[in-house]
Structure 1
Amino acid sequence: MNYHDRKRVLVTGGAGFLGSHLIDRLLAEGAEVLCVDNLFTGNKRNLDHLINHPRFEFMRHDVCLPLFVEVDQIFNLACPASPVHYQYDPVQTTKTSVHGAINMLGLAKRLKCKILQASTSEVYGDPEIHPQVESYWGNVNPIGIRSCYDEGKRCAETLFFDYHRQHKIEIKVARIFNTYGPRMHPADGRVVSNFIMQALRNEDITIFGNGSQTRSFCYYEDLIDGFLRLMNTGPDFTGPVNLGNPGEFTIKELAELVIDMTGSSSKLTFNDLPSDDPTQRKPDISLAESELDWQPKVALKAGLQKTIEYFEQFVREQDDTGS
């Protein structure tokens, strides 16, 4: 692309797991990318390979504060996404979702540019219908320990649609189901990273509940492809749209698969299920299939193999440095 055709794209939360992979794809497609992250859960390690890239810029900034930049598109991914991190400072988590949405929508309003919100399957809470469709309003506890994230994301969706109706902002809302892959935070408390790290160290694998609760695991490459397809839709399609892999596995099945693939001697241990932890998760992706021509391609075992290789390298580096 020549300079005048090149898109300038803002990615908030760009030093995180999904944000950094999204930036890689955007740069590969010729865009200029501004990454904004306060590094609460993001890590510069995820961006080391881009430090000298001529079309990449990093800005340390908290989206709870206004931002004044000039861009053509905004991907709003800023928010802690794992229970360990979003429950560490629940007030700040809610602020990040709500104030962050207000600030990014205000920027999109001023620039008259398209903006995508990374929402979550957690807006469905502990669902009473299965699989979950976008028209389902959810079953969410508004005062529980997960509410800072669940209700924060629900409020962010409200703001996106009100800005769309009131100010004619072109919005896109993606509801992300469990996504995994290289660059996940090794201590984020999510089952894929937890199980792999415990297995590689031959530690007991901790399962909360009896392991019968289900999740659907989407490899990051498929998710990023869904993001880009959604952003490239016309102004009449706003979403929300589910992005996730409809393949459903119990937590116990995942743990056993990780042990098998790592050759670990780990044993399974069972603890009490945390408050408001959903018992089942499975996206209905009919809308994504029809509107985005999208469906995930990477099978769980293939994605896990690449993720395990990433964490093996991480563990080796930790052992070498003694950290």
Structure 2
Amino acid sequence: MNERDSKRALVTGGTGYVGAMLVRRLVADGWDVHLIVRPDSDAGVLGPAQDKVVFHPHDGSTEGMIGIVRAAAPDVVFHLASLFLAQHTVANLEQLVRSNILFSTQLVEAMASNGVRHLVNTGTSWQHYENDDYNPVNLYAATKQAFESLLAYYIEAHGLVVTTLVLFDTYGPDDWRSKLIALLWKTSAATEPLAMSPGEQMIDLVHIDDVIEAFLLAAAQLRMREHGHERYGISSGQPLRLRDLVLAFERATGTRVPITWGGRPYRPREVMTTWTRFAPVPGWQPRIPFETGILQTRPATAPGA
């Protein structure tokens, strides 16, 4: 790979699930990868890729961030770091704002200071409650929208070129998160039924490999643009009612998941309908059906493993 063709990425959130899978793929594809990390981040989630990336611990300061971006000198910044809280409390409000607004703004300030222009940002479909153009499900979603508003200044005043990928739910192999799929596997091995909501809410699950393809394609297209902010939804195109998703899980895995539907109420501002008013990344479409992808998530202790 010659200097003209070299690709250097700076990644935030690289020790989260989606970020770690992106880092693994970037390394496999020959990118020079740099990560912004907290001093206590667990690099083990990167697997063998951890030995092929450059880590930049961030001390929390704007000056420190400027130094990191200067040292990394990336062609593209992938911003995936965020603090997710389904429901915040007074005690964690400041942390939510620091993580999702202050840190993110420090990042783009550092990009502007160093003449780095290309950013792939990450949004959430929870910014679009009841399929609205903007209606945050919770404060987490509101902070994601707040950062997008701040981005407008850096785009107009400093020439940043931005693509925001709006994610729905993600799943895939090696997923350590305590999310729906892990819960279904755990419950399939249990005898006591799991108390769940009535199950009428829609779930849009996208396989991690498809999500990573969207990031890579967005980055390639971003580097060919000169200005502006484009925003795309990364959807499976086939959202399912929670009840139907559990049935699809049972059919694909040959297991039974004992559930008491209606055993607990819906959460406040439960997302009953998925966001549909989005454009996909040009040239991208999901390729891994749930029935195939779900088999890759079977834990070693699950029935039939």
> 3-state SS of the aligned residue for 2:230?
coil
Structure 2 portions without partners, runs of 5+: none
Q: Deviations over 1:116-165 (max 9, x none)?
A: 1111111112x1x4xxxxxx522236xxxx31x11110101111122101
| 1:278 to 2:274 alignment | no
Structure 2 counterpart of 1:19:
19
The answer to whether the 8 A contact 2:15-2:45 is kept is yes
CA distance 1:288–1:202, change in 2 (3 Å): same
Instruction: Pick from 252, 255, 271 the counterpart of residue 246 of structure 2.
Output: 255
Structure 2 CA distance for aligned equivalents of residues 203 and 184 of structure 1:
24
The answer to whether the 8 A contact 2:202-2:240 is kept is yes
Structure 1 counterpart of 2:81:
78
Instruction: Pick from 292, 295, 299 the counterpart of residue 305 of structure 1.
Output: 295
The answer to whether the 8 A contact 1:179-1:244 is kept is no
Instruction: Pick from 118, 121, 134 the counterpart of residue 117 of structure 1.
Output: 121
Equivalent positions of 1:27-106 (< 5 A) are 27-38=27-38, 43-53=42-52, 56-61=53-58, 66-67=64-65, 68-69=67-68, 70-72=72-74, 73-81=76-84, 83=86, 89-106=92-109
The answer to whether the 8 A contact 2:79-2:122 is kept is yes
Identity of aligned residues (%): 20
Structure 1 counterpart of 2:216:
228
Structure 2 CA distance for aligned equivalents of residues 83 and 182 of structure 1:
23
Structure 2 CA distance for aligned equivalents of residues 277 and 39 of structure 1:
35
TM-score, structure 1 length as denominator?
0.80
What is the alpha-carbon root mean square deviation over aligned residues?
2.7
TM-superposed CA distance for 1:228, in Å, is 1.4
TM-superposed CA distance for 1:282, in Å, is 4.3
Structure 1 portions without partners, runs of 5+: 130-135, 317-323
The answer to whether the 8 A contact 2:201-2:270 is kept is no
CA distance 1:158–1:48, change in 2 (3 Å): same
> 3-state SS of the aligned residue for 1:161?
helix
The answer to whether the 8 A contact 1:214-1:251 is kept is yes
Q: Which runs of 4+ in 1 moved over 6 A?
A: 84-88
Structure 1 letter corresponding to 2:280:
A
Instruction: Pick from 125, 134, 138 the counterpart of residue 138 of structure 1.
Output: 134
> 3-state SS of the aligned residue for 1:50?
helix
CA distance 1:94–1:259, change in 2 (3 Å): farther
User: How many residues matched?
Assistant: 290
Structure 2 letter corresponding to 1:288:
P
Structure 1 CA distance for aligned equivalents of residues 133 and 283 of structure 2:
24
Structure 1 letter corresponding to 2:58:
H
> 3-state SS of the aligned residue for 1:232?
helix
Structure 2 CA distance for aligned equivalents of residues 4 and 202 of structure 1:
59
CA distance 1:79–1:183, change in 2 (3 Å): farther
TM-superposed CA distance for 1:204, in Å, is 3.0
Structure 1 CA distance for aligned equivalents of residues 291 and 275 of structure 2:
18
Structure 2 CA distance for aligned equivalents of residues 34 and 71 of structure 1:
9
| 1:197 to 2:186 alignment | yes
The answer to whether the 8 A contact 2:23-2:46 is kept is no
TM-superposed CA distance for 1:236, in Å, is 4.1
Structure 2 CA distance for aligned equivalents of residues 87 and 197 of structure 1:
32
TM-superposed CA distance for 1:194, in Å, is 2.2
Structure 2 CA distance for aligned equivalents of residues 86 and 307 of structure 1:
32
TM-superposed CA distance for 1:275, in Å, is 0.9
CA distance 1:253–1:91, change in 2 (3 Å): farther
> 3-state SS of the aligned residue for 1:156?
helix
The answer to whether the 8 A contact 2:187-2:258 is kept is no
TM-superposed CA distance for 1:200, in Å, is 4.0
Structure 2 letter corresponding to 1:240:
R
